[in-house]
Structure 1
Amino acid sequence: MAQASHNEHLAKLASQVAQVPTEPGCYLWKNASGDVLYVGKAKNLRARMRQYVQLSDERPMVPRLMAATDSFDYVVVGSEHEALVLERNLIAQYRPPFNVDLKDDKSYPFIAITESDVFPAIKYTREHHRKGTRYFGPYTDARAARETIDTLRKVVPICLATCAEWKRAKRMLDRDPTQAAIANMVLAEKCRPCFDYHVGRGPGVCAGMIDTVEYARHVAQVERFLEGHRSQIVGELTEQMQQAAADLDFERAGRIKGRLERIQALDDKQQVVLPSAVNLDAIGFYREETISCACVFVVREGRTIRSVEFILDKGLDVGAEELAEGFLKRYYDETSDVPAEVDLDCELADAAVIAEWLTEKRGHAVHLHRPQRGEKRHLLDMAATNARHALVRYMVRTGYADDRTNQALLELESALALEGPPLRIECFDISTLHGHFTVASMVVFTNGRADKSQYRRFKIQTPLTEANDFVSMSEVLGRRYAPDRMADERFGKRPDLIVVDGGKPQLTAAVNQLQELGLDIPVCGLAKSDEEIFVTWDEAPVVLPSGSPSLYLIKQVRDESHRFAITFHRELRGKAMTVSVLDDVPGVGPKRKRLLMRHFGSLKRLRAASEEEIAATEGISEMVAHAIWQALHESQDF
């Protein structure tokens, strides 16, 4: 009934989408309350929106989005580029839950230059971008941003926006702009030098020690420094030092030399990651189920001048391309530092449109690149590694994993109609090879986490001539939940939920066995193909929402049981192949076995050998060689 209603709802949306124009623009899916759920852009609005209502878009989030959608809006624009800009503005305005965004809804720190002032100052800020101020960043480490300002002012003296004397001078010049022309004289008469001037970090604006032309050179050097173009600064300072020395102004030459040494010290700390002086951003991602991290390596003139990490509110629940594209739009919308090249580990469908947007923002050509090998590939891998570590730190710091686990247990309680959260889950899986070496695994998750001390493995004792999960599952549950095992403290307490790996047959075997034992324990089966959960109280399987904590947890339980079972199966099979086959051959004892292994090196090579080659082994007769060859080839069926 619910499915029929959902289909009817999609059909209604489809009829409305049929009236949408085929021009470029942005579309907004909304819920019944009118809240925007998702914002997207399209070259052809009707064709793109039709993919949603027909569920032909294979992204996992689309079915959930359409189930929550009640209506839509759209805005027609003139080109894909305009659609991209509008999309970013709409996402910033509405913050739709289905769009990729930063996990922490906070403003990140920037370093800003107040360019509209007569004497621009530098400042650390989290403010929204203001007209007349140039911003560098964002930074995710506030301390690193402050240290950058401190180091920079030692290299190029510039006023600090928090300086009381600079503020006094600014107020005076703002009150009467005509005084800007004679600013030095006015400031020298009415103001006094600040502390920073005396320690060499301020140029003396507050006391008329520097004119606007010379100060503008300082500001330009600061901006180039923050852009990563340090070679230009080194060249300018070197020329100034040489000129000061030629003018016998050795005190000034010494001060400039100290600034050059500070730049050199900075370069010594930074690894040269690329042989050429390229300017690029390498962006690596690491994704968990519903959370991820992006790490940006900012490379200027071949050197990594900083790395920044951002936690994103989407993970494996969206595609890699969508995650990367969403981050690019958010990050470069906020930063003015756009490089000539952006390196990613995936190809974007809208790469040309995004490159056009970035080119317009930068004023020079920008292209997106996916390096396959070499230094750039290595740098991209390093960025992904740093993203993984940053995400782990975030999850530990915030307790994200614990919150997610608690949510998963509560979701399973509701979806599977349990009496309480399944604090102890036991999952069983069968592994066999055509009925031979059949084993079963039991893994235990306590409070949503793997409890390896409680894992158990079983050899199936029922004789089988072919794979029979029904019989095998019945046996292992009968042994695990027999009265003596239930009373054995080594097996732990009674589970809150039993999960069997498989569909209806495995679930039926489990239910029948528990009924024979007189036990009433909730049990479900998890099919591998569609991640459907089969339950005892409904013919239709339970489908957990894609990307939900509950689905992630139960898949983790199932995959762990499969890993544990197949490891045991391979162990038994390998042991049987390498030990039992030769041990059962008449005339082959430990000594001859060692000779054979030393001669052939492995059982695989021994099995591939002919009788003559086996007989050529020292100490092996033709009759024994024939027996060995025959035993090995008969064992291949297993």
Structure 2
Amino acid sequence: DIIGFYNKDNYMSMVIIQIRDGRIINKNSFNFDLREKLAHKTEIYSSILEQYYQDFKTKLPEVIIIAEINDQFDLLIKLLKEMNPFIQLRPPIDDYEASLLRIANKNAKVMVIQQTEMEQIMMDEEDFRQNVLKEAKNVLNLSKEPRIIEGFDISNIEGKDATGSMVYFLEGKPYNKNYRHFNIKTKSKPDDVAMMNEVLKRRYTFLLKRNMVLPDLILVDGGKGQLNAGISVLKELSLDIPIIGLAKKNEKIYLPNEKYPIILPLNSPTLKLLQRIRNESHRFSLRLHKIRRKKRLTLSRLDEIEGVGPVTRNKLLKHYGSVDNIKKATLEDISQIIGKKLAYSVLEELNK
């Protein structure tokens, strides 16, 4: 038997391929929603195999191949040995077995992808989305259904290349046309709360000045700190917009003026919608953050060299293609482009 396994995010799948006399004769599949399981995913893996082989009605295989053996399989090994002292539970030992394991793992991966896509399809169904919005209104104690939800996230590494993002969900679906990026202007040190304050203030000052439609709900990525930053901004702008914070740890939902957060069941449609908004804002924020970081790492080393301005920088990059290629060039080669004195300074700085 070949045991394939794959898990990602909320789903896990296991595929058992039965091979007898060199031929695949059967395949069994198991799907799990990890949000509904109390046990750790590795424990689920071993316990399902224990149950499967305990209930086995036909002759046990001589060999069971899995990716790796660890302490979680002690009970399974004991059970199998009681049923057949000669049975082997082990990783693949040759290319043939390894290729079969890859097939089983690939099948398990396909099943997880299908589960994720089905959940996405459900979230995109209009009737389902409308029911989720009604539920969200009740759960979050809103005055009306949140037709327009704006979600915010901050991305930075030690304060560098800090960016903010805003995603726009209309009727429970992402509306990419209204997504917005923000380059953080006021902070160079890591301070997500202050950065969130800046982004929210810029967003809603902009909407007010242009008399544009305000959201029915604001979702910030984070806990009380980020939520309080939002509350402060709304108060300063005299806006009465419901706002919540969704913290990654235990998926706690923080509401203004509430001492304790709301913790919804992990399979709650409202929580899934909020997670989707939070995750989308994070993805969108990382996109700009990576672009800025790449640009900084590529260009800033030249920009920081005395005597190198935009014209000289562009000459060098156009000729060599990258900073790394400039570092590898000889003094004589660079001198032909920008002169010997400046070429010496460039190589000296880049090779520190």
One fold, TM greater than 0.5? Answer: yes
Matches within 5 A, 1:595-610: 595=316, 598-599=319-320, 602-604=322-324, 606=326
Aligned equivalent of 1:42: none
Which consecutive residues of structure 2, in runs of 5 or more, have no partner in the other structure?
none
Q: Output one character per residue of 1:523-558: Cα deviation in whole Å (capped at 9) or x when no partner.
A: 122334554333212133333445655555434433
Which among 464, 469, 472 is matched to residue 192 of structure 2? Answer: 469
Q: Which amino acid aligns with 1:476?
A: V
Q: Output one character per residue of 1:450-491: Cα deviation in whole Å (capped at 9) or x when no partner.
A: 4433321122344x4534434432332223223457745xxx
Counterpart check, 1:341 vs 2:63: yes
Aligned equivalent of 1:460: 184
Decide whether the 8 Å contact of 2:165 with 2:281 is kept in 1: yes
Q: Output one character per residue of 1:173-210: Cα deviation in whole Å (capped at 9) or x when no partner.
A: xxxxxxxxxxxxxxxxxxxxxxxxxxxxxxxxxxxxxx
Distance 1:593 1:399 in 2: 45
Aligned equivalent of 2:167: 443
Q: Which amino acid aligns with 1:380?
A: L
Larger Cα Rg: Structure 1 or Structure 2?
Answer: 1
Superposition deviation, residue 441 in structure 1: 0.6
SS in 1 for 2:232: helix
Q: Which amino acid aligns with 1:382?
A: I
Aligned equivalent of 1:355: 77
Aligned equivalent of 1:283: 4
Aligned equivalent of 2:282: 562
Aligned equivalent of 2:216: 496
Superposition deviation, residue 356 in structure 1: 4.0
Counterpart check, 1:479 vs 2:202: yes
Aligned equivalent of 1:417: 141
Which consecutive residues of structure 1, in runs of 5 or more, have no partner in the other structure?
1-279
Distance 2:163 2:60 in 1: 58
Distance 1:469 1:631 in 2: 33
SS in 1 for 2:151: strand
Counterpart check, 1:309 vs 2:25: no
SS in 1 for 2:337: coil
Distance 1:315 1:305 in 2: 33
Which among 292, 303, 324 is matched to residue 572 of structure 1? Answer: 292
Superposition deviation, residue 328 in structure 1: 1.9
Q: Output one character per residue of 1:470-528: Cα deviation in whole Å (capped at 9) or x when no partner.
A: 4432332223223457745xxxx543321222333322221121123332222122334
Counterpart check, 1:427 vs 2:151: yes
Superposition deviation, residue 300 in structure 1: 1.9
Superposition deviation, residue 423 in structure 1: 4.7
Counterpart check, 1:513 vs 2:233: yes
Distance 2:184 2:120 in 1: 41
Q: Which amino acid aligns with 1:522?
A: P
Distance 1:372 1:468 in 2: 51
Q: Which amino acid aligns with 1:438?
A: A
Matches within 5 A, 1:162-201: none
Aligned equivalent of 1:324: 45
Which among 332, 335, 343 is matched to residue 625 of structure 1? Answer: 343
Q: Which amino acid aligns with 1:459?
A: N
Q: Which amino acid aligns with 2:199?
A: V
Q: Which amino acid aligns with 1:475?
A: E
TM-score for the superposition, normalised by structure 1: 0.45
Aligned equivalent of 1:270: none
Counterpart check, 1:532 vs 2:252: yes
Decide whether the 8 Å contact of 1:294 with 1:387 is kept in 2: yes
Aligned equivalent of 1:144: none
Q: Which amino acid aligns with 1:478?
A: K
Distance 2:108 2:72 in 1: 24
Pair 1:580–1:512, CA change in 2 (3 A): same
SS in 2 for 1:554: helix
Distance 1:281 1:341 in 2: 9
Distance 1:284 1:330 in 2: 16
State the identity as a percent: 30
Higher relative contact order at CA 8 Å, sep ≥6: structure 1 or structure 2? 2
Superposition deviation, residue 624 in structure 1: 1.7
Q: Which amino acid aligns with 2:253?
A: I
Distance 1:364 1:307 in 2: 25
Decide whether the 8 Å contact of 1:532 with 1:542 is kept in 2: yes
Higher strand share: 2
Decide whether the 8 Å contact of 2:299 with 2:323 is kept in 1: no
Q: Which amino acid aligns with 2:165?
A: S
Range that drifts further, 382-391 or 417-426: 417-426
Aligned equivalent of 1:299: 19
Aligned residues: 344
Q: Which amino acid aligns with 2:162?
A: T
Pair 1:352–1:520, CA change in 2 (3 A): same
